[in-house]
Every structure is written in C-alpha cells, then in structure tokens.
Chain A
Amino acid sequence: MRSQQGTLLGLSFVAGLFWVFVVQKWMFLNVFSGVLAGPGLPLNDYLQLANEPAFTMLWISCISALMIWLWITFRARPRNGAEVRRMKPLWWTAAVILVLLGWLYQLFFSIIIWQLQGQSPVQGSGMNFFLLPPGGWLLLTMMVMINVTLLFWLPTLLASPRTYRLVVPGAVKILGGR
C-alpha cells in the first residue's frame, strides 16, 4: 500500500467513525425525527436502545469485512488480471452480506431482542417492540445501504492495494484514468 492509500484509508476510517457516531445520530435527532418518530415511540429511547446498537454492530461488521478484504488483497500474489478479477464476486458477496446484516441488526434491536426477552422497550405501551412507522423502516433501509457504502465501499475503493486497485465496483471509472 502506498502512503497516499494509507492516508486515505485512515481518513475514511475517521470519517466513518464521525459519520456513524456523530453525524448520523444528529441527523436522526434533528433531520429525520419526523420520519422516525411515530405515535408511542419516544425517539431518544429508540435511538439509544435500538438504533445506536444496530448501527454500531454494522460499523463493527463493516470494519471487520474491510480488514479481511485488505488482509486478503495484501497477501495475494495474483499472476494475472483474471485472478485479480476473481475478487470482484467476493467483494459483492461481502457487500450484500453487510447490507443484509445491517437490516437484520435493525430488526434485531428494534423487535427481536424485546420479543425474546419478553419485555417492553417503552414502559406502559404494552408492546414488546419499537413501533416504527413505515417511513422510518424505509429510512433505516436506506441508511444501512449508505453506511455500507461509506464504511466498506469507500475504504476498499481508496485503499485496495497493488493490482487490486481497480477491482472494487466503480474504481475503473473513478480512479482508472489516474
């Protein structure tokens, strides 16, 4: 990895942290509060007990996938372009799994965990899950995809080493003419 790639990887890591734990949280509270909050859903409780753990888990998953990707591509000594391109399906598989995991985390922390524990996340509501409006679910679905883009696609695009530099989707268009 060249030093420029190392710097970009570091910057994208910091940007990811900042996005997940600062910007996104602020956006849910201030920009999308109307979309997320519905009747009987205290937004602060939801964000603290479901939204944040779900996105933290997604962040950990993305960082783990990124590390595995970098470890594999660093160690590989491909003999030709076809061998390099064989990493493309692996990248897509990782990206799809991360998106599915992201959605699963949302479901898990909003509904499944409360069902399993038999508890109600909102005292006095009588419901053992967070009742998000359809628009809220749609927003979370989109945000999971944006998170995977920022936390997996961007760092792999910027920091895939050596001959793997252009194997990430979109890299040929964005970096190919360097």
Chain B
Amino acid sequence: MSVFAIGVGGTGAKCLEALTHLHTCGLLEQGGTSVRLGTFLVEPDQQSTLLARAETAIDRYQKMRRLLGSKADHFARGELRHYGTWSPLSNSSGAISLDQVFPKAILRTRASGLAALFDCLFPPEEQAADLEVGFRGRPPIGSAVMSRVSLTAEAKTGQWQQMLSDIETASGGGETPVIHLFGSVFGGTGASGVPTLGQMLKSWLKEQGLNKVKVNASLLLPYFDFEGQAREDTGVHAEARNFQLNTDAALQYLRSSGTSCFDQVYLVGSDIKARYDFSIGGRSQANGAHLVELLASLGMRHGLKADSSSHYAHVLSRAVENKISWGDIPDSEVVGEGMARAARFGVAWLNNISLELDAAQSVPMPMFLSGAPWAHHFFQPSGQASGTQAGRPSIRSSEELSLKTAIDAYVETLLQWLQQFSSNTGTGFSQELFTPELLERNSNYENALGRVVRGSARPSRDEQDDTVEAIKVQMDALSHKKISHNGMAGLADTLWSLSYCDTGL
C-alpha cells in the first residue's frame, strides 16, 4: 500500500516531520502491514528552518533505513521515499515578487483591465514583497502564484514527475493509494496551497482516470500566536490578528467547494495557543514542534482505515480543558504504545547504549563484554577488526559504525521532536504524555526509563525496575533463536522490541 504525503508551507513541513516519526513508530499501516510512504514538500521559502527540519528528519530516516537494509524486523520497518522539495516560484523564471510573476508592464499592454484588477486586489507593498521567505501570511498572494501551476505540465517534467508517476503505478497495481495534504489554513503558503493543490490533484487524477486514488487533507486551524512584533521596516508579514480572518475564509471555501478538493478533511487546531517568536520566515522561523501537528499527522493514519471514509470532516476534542493526555489522542492504545516505545527506545539508545558502544571502541572486547554481557549476541566476542565469528560482525567494523552514526543522528531528531512537542503546549495548558526534560540528549548514561512516558501509555513495570539495565539483562537472557539479526541492526531491533515489553520478546 502506498501513501503520499504533501506538506505545504512551514506548518505542512512540520506535519511531515511528525509523520516521518510516526512512520518510525510503525503507526502508518494498513491491515497490520506498514505502508510505503512518499513525501513531497511544497515551500517557496527555501531557507525555512521548518523545511530544513522536516528534510533532516526525512533524510536521516532514509539513510538509517538504507543502512539497516533487511536486517531489522521491528525497528524502522516502514519504507519511505522523499520526492523532493518544490517551490511554486520555480516556474516563474527567477521571479521573487508578485509583480515579477505577473509583470505589470506586460499586463498593461496586453490586458489593461487585468492590470487594474491586479492593482485593486494587491496593494503595492504586496506586489513588491520578496516571496523567497514565503507568501508572508497572505493567502491571496499564494493563490495568485499557485494558480499559474499546471500539474499536467509538471507531470511531464520536474519534481512532481516521479511522484505522480508512482501514484499512477500504485493505482494501476490494484492499490488504493492515498494522497494526503498538510498545511495551515491561517497562514500564507498552506492556506493558498493546500486547497489549490488538492483541486489540481483531483482534476489531474480524473484526467488520468485514476478514480480510486483518495485525496485527503489535514488542515491546521490557528494553534499559535507570535510573541513580539515585526519591525517597522519588515514589510508585508504574517500577523496573528489575521489568522482568524484567514481561517474563516478558508473554512467558507471548504464548505462551498471542499469536496472538489478533498475526499476527507481533518481539521485540527487549539484554543490555547503556543507562543512563538515573531518571524517573517527563512532561517529565523524556528517554531518548535507542536502537538497539533502530531494530531494532524494522525489524520493520515485514520484515513488508511477501511471505515474512515464514511464522513467528510473529522474533528477532535479533549476531555479536560487545560490538559491533554493519552485518552485524548485518537486510537490512543496503539498510538500511545507506538510513541512510548519510540521515546523509550530513543532515550535508551542515545543516552546509554550508544555511549556504551562508543566506550567499547577504546577497550579490548573481552573487557567490554565483562561489563556488557548483552553485547555478545550482536558482536564478535574476540573484537577482531574484521571478519565475523558465528556471523557476528566486529563492534569496530566501519559498516557497523556507519550504521550506528545513522541511528544516532535519526534518534537525536526523534527525541528533539518529542521533546519539543511535549514542552510546547501554551500558557496554562499541560500535557500528560511525556516528561520533556528526560527526552534531552545527555552523556550521563541515562538508566531510569520509568518517567519518560507519562499516563496510561507508560508500561506497567515498577518505576524502580524500569531501567535500561533491566532491558540489557532481558537482552542478555534471550536465546539466540529469538535474535534474528546481529550487529548494530540486530541490537537496535532487539532494543526496539524490548523497549515496550514487560516479558521479553
């Protein structure tokens, strides 16, 4: 089963970051089988930190998965293909402002009425605004730029080509592929891009006769405010006071024309707003991950269920006004276990096991084994630099160390994301999902796992016995038959299984 996620704008990129991590948690599945996830980012602001963060998560996951190959049965088993990042300005021959995309001199010559309409719709500062930092929180600017995109032309060349070709192939292979768009309805790029792209995709699919393909969207309603204000010379910029106006307009459009864009929509927002520093875009826009983005990403999981298509719009609510807990998360039992496993694995790997493996590089292997018996399942006990013994690679082999570096890099991204969304809740609003301070990278050989996950998703072990050491002991006690793979891949795979397991594999 193939699913294609398109993140539009900064918020869309953040949703794809969340989606990548959900894929790691094994939460994108259909009928118990992990889906093939394709990702595509749409963002005019190529310098965006949010875009870079999503790309980093995706790249690191892909690299880790490539190096893991078929040597892991449980950990990171979901396939992921990234189709790239596309800018709606890429077809505008280097234009970076609206009056360059629609050259007024030409408009005046060829259609003076249109030039007048253009002046009427867009004030001079919007016409001249540099769009390399995005559509500046103005959906009309985005809509004007997006309206020039031809998906039929893009399908023949450019970055869309491979993804659209894969959608055709998946549909032709008897699957029911799902395309899921992510973006905010209160900013600039997402508000203009998501409905426009949804409509374009629907039309293109109809033209190609691909009627089985579903187009869904997670639309994010306002969930943050800006702290601080723009300088006087900032120019056109996103303003929090416009968020509600933009949202109203988007929802009105959705009510009247939504079904022409999407088969299902997921509307997620928050009445209690997180506070982010003001930014016009680019590198300075470093908004931390937010729970709402996780919920939006879970929309895709919901869309994969066989019974999900009975309603058009899906909304969420929480049980307690000023707190969110696992019970408020859709499909909380499965999602909670998946995310708890990922968080516990991340802490155990990055803050303990990985440090142990680093320390193993500077001591003889028999000496290392005397303090780390669990390692004998995965690495050659003699510690030779090359060759294998009973199929086990050396703990110092370059291939193993490359894989370790890749896992470290990805897990660091995962923990950062978990840490951000669990600490970014907004004033007077708390969460009972994770303990943010325990999700930070440290070199203290973290042992206690009991408080990493809070609430009902926490495993039922006694807190004092819920340690990395206990997992190591469980790992050591496993019979060889229960360990399918050796080396770093086998170690990560086994740790993943034991991270949320009371009784062993």
Contacts and interface: CB of A to CB of B under 8 A. Distances in A.
Interface in A133-173: 162-163, 165-167, 171-173
B96 interface: no
A171 B370 contact: yes
A126 interface: no
Contact of A79 (B369, B468, B473): B468
B445 A166 contact: no
Given A79-B445, A80-B355, A82-B371, A172 B381 contact: yes
Interface residues of B, number: 27
Interface string B465-495: 0011100110011000000000000000000
A80 B368 CA distance: 10
A79 B381 contact: no
Nearest to A178: B376
A124 interface: no
Interface string A1-33: 010000000000000000000000000000000
B88 interface: no
- SS class, residues of chain B in contact with chain A: helix
Contacts of B356: 80-81
A83 B371 contact: yes
A79 B469 contact: yes
A166 B369 contact: yes
A32 to B, nearest CB: 36
Contacts of B369: 166, 172, 176
B469 A78 contact: yes
Interface in B421-458: 444-447
Contacts of A84: 370-372
Nearest to B381: A176
Interface residues of A, number: 22
A101 to B, nearest CB: 26
B445 A165 contact: no
A105 to B, nearest CB: 31
A171 B381 CA distance: 12
B352 A79 contact: yes
A47 to B, nearest CB: 40
B370 A172 contact: yes
A165 B376 CA distance: 12
Contacts of A163: 371-374, 469, 472-473, 476
Nearest to A76: B469
A80 B445 contact: yes
A83 B356 CA distance: 11
B367 A166 contact: no
Contacts of B373: 163, 165-166, 176
Interface string B180-206: 000000000000000000000000000
Contacts of A79: 352, 444-447, 468-469
Task: Give the 9 A-B residue pairs with the shortest CB-CB distance, closest first.
Answer: A81-B371, A84-B371, A79-B445, A81-B372, A85-B371, A79-B447, A80-B445, A166-B373, A166-B370
Given A84-B370, A172-B370, 18 more contacts: A77-B447, A79-B446, A79-B447, A79-B469, A80-B352, A80-B355, A81-B359, A81-B360, A81-B372, A82-B359, A83-B371, A84-B372, A85-B371, A163-B472, A165-B373, A167-B370, A172-B366, A177-B376
21 contacts: A77-B447, A78-B371, A79-B445, A79-B446, A79-B447, A80-B356, A80-B372, A81-B356, A81-B360, A81-B372, A82-B359, A84-B372, A85-B371, A162-B469, A163-B469, A166-B369, A172-B381, A176-B369, A176-B373, A176-B381, A178-B376
